[in-house]
Amino acid sequence: MNKLRIMIRIRLFEERVARLKIKGPLHSCVGQEAVSAGVCLALDKKDFIIGNHRSHGHLIAKGSDVKHLMSQVLKGNGNSMHVNDPSIGAICSTAIVGSGPPLACGLAFASKFKNDDRIACVFLGDGAVSEGTFHESLNIASQLRLPVLFVIENNKVAVTTVPRQHNYHRFADSYGISNIKVDGQNVESVYNASVDAIRLIHNTGMPFVLEAETIRFHEHQEGAYYEKMKETNYRDNKEIEDWIENRDPIKLYSDKLIKGGISVDELADIYSQEKRLINSL
């Protein structure tokens, strides 16, 4: 139930900020909620997360107060891309594509040095995998045996660039790092894989690469300029519609809960509570 509540909270938060038309770039994670929820619920409160330009969901799932998050987003001028909340281990989000992995290595190194058993989890897009910093970070994390969980949110597109690779997690093989690819629309799959990955990191001291195949329902950024990109058909718009209809992580998990005996009213209650929370911001 917690997984559902978090995904709904993220969705409603993203829809609300989109309506506010804030100054500066706003990258929505609508469609990708199951990755944030599945990974962050598997992490410990004391573990670190490093975000990127699309990180509202990461912070919400790690337990950040939505009021605190909204106040950062409303500062405009790109603050949505630099949200943080050290009280829940969200040390920073950084908009320079590929800059998160080295920071995660630094945090993991500090944690190892202090022997305080904290994992550093970094969220990166498939675009960031093409940056040298990702590969350097895998190399150093492997060489120094750093407790880093690299989470690749493969939404199959970097702005309008559609890359040729499909299995980014396999890069980890070259560095002797265990890895897995999961269905990023299935919150339970993401959660279970994350629990296993985190256990392995603790048991072996080695990093782990988890790739979650997902999709962004919105355009790269909110706003009319990016909406127009749809017309270029840089990605298959029919496929996106199909995913929205059939691969929505919230719908998929709600259906599963209902099949498992949870009543529609109980789910509606969660939705109403979350709606009240987000509307109060």
Of 53 and 169, the one with the shorter C-beta distance to ligand TPP is 53
Q: Alpha-carbon distance 183 to 274, whole Å?
A: 25
In DSSP terms, 62 is beta-bridged to: none
Q: Report in angstroms how near the CB of residue 90 gets to ligand TPP at its nearest.
A: 17
Angle at 20 between CA 18 and CA 25, to 5 degrees: 60
Stretch that binds ligand TPP, among 157-165, 168-176, 201-209, 270-278 (CB under 6 A): 157-165
Q: Alpha-carbon distance 275 to 197, whole Å?
A: 33
Of 125 and 184, the one with the shorter C-beta distance to ligand TPP is 125
Tokens describing residue 6: 């978090």
Report the candidate in 78, 69, 96 with the shortest Cα–Cα distance to residue 24: 78
Q: Which of residues 174-233 bind ligand TPP (CB under 6 A)?
A: 220
Determine which residue in the list 18, 20, 74, 157 makes contact with ligand TPP, applying CB under 6 A: 157
Q: Alpha-carbon distance 125 to 219, whole Å?
A: 15
3-class secondary-structure state, position 95: coil
Determine which residue in the list 6, 73, 97, 104 makes contact with ligand TPP, applying CB under 6 A: 97
Q: Nearest-CB residue to ligand TPP?
A: 125
Q: Check binding of 162 to ligand TPP (CB under 6 A).
A: no
Q: Check binding of 158 to ligand TPP (CB under 6 A).
A: yes
Q: Check binding of 54 to ligand TPP (CB under 6 A).
A: yes
Determine which residue in the list 74, 95, 180, 229 makes contact with ligand TPP, applying CB under 6 A: 95
Q: Are strands 90-93 and 120-125 parallel, antiparallel or unpaired?
A: unpaired
Q: How far is CA 120 from the centre of its chain?
A: 14
Enclosing H/E stretch for 195: helix 187-204
Q: Check binding of 50 to ligand TPP (CB under 6 A).
A: no
Determine which residue in the list 155, 185, 194, 254 makes contact with ligand TPP, applying CB under 6 A: 155
Stretch that binds ligand TPP, among 9-17, 91-99, 111-119, 200-208 (CB under 6 A): 91-99
Q: Check binding of 127 to ligand TPP (CB under 6 A).
A: yes
Amino acid symbol at 80: S
Of 97 and 182, the one with the shorter C-beta distance to ligand TPP is 97
Of 159 and 206, the one with the shorter C-beta distance to ligand TPP is 159
Q: Check binding of 63 to ligand TPP (CB under 6 A).
A: no
Amino acid symbol at 223: G
Q: Which residues of 22-55 are buried (b: 16+ CB within 10 A; e: fewer)?
A: beebbbbbbbbbbbbbbbbbbbeeebbbbbbbbb
| Structural contact between residues 88 and 59, judged by C-beta atoms closer than 8 angstroms | yes
Stretch that binds ligand TPP, among 41-49, 123-131, 231-239, 266-274 (CB under 6 A): 123-131
Contact positions vs ligand TPP (CB under 6 A): 53-54, 95-98, 125-128, 155, 157-159, 220
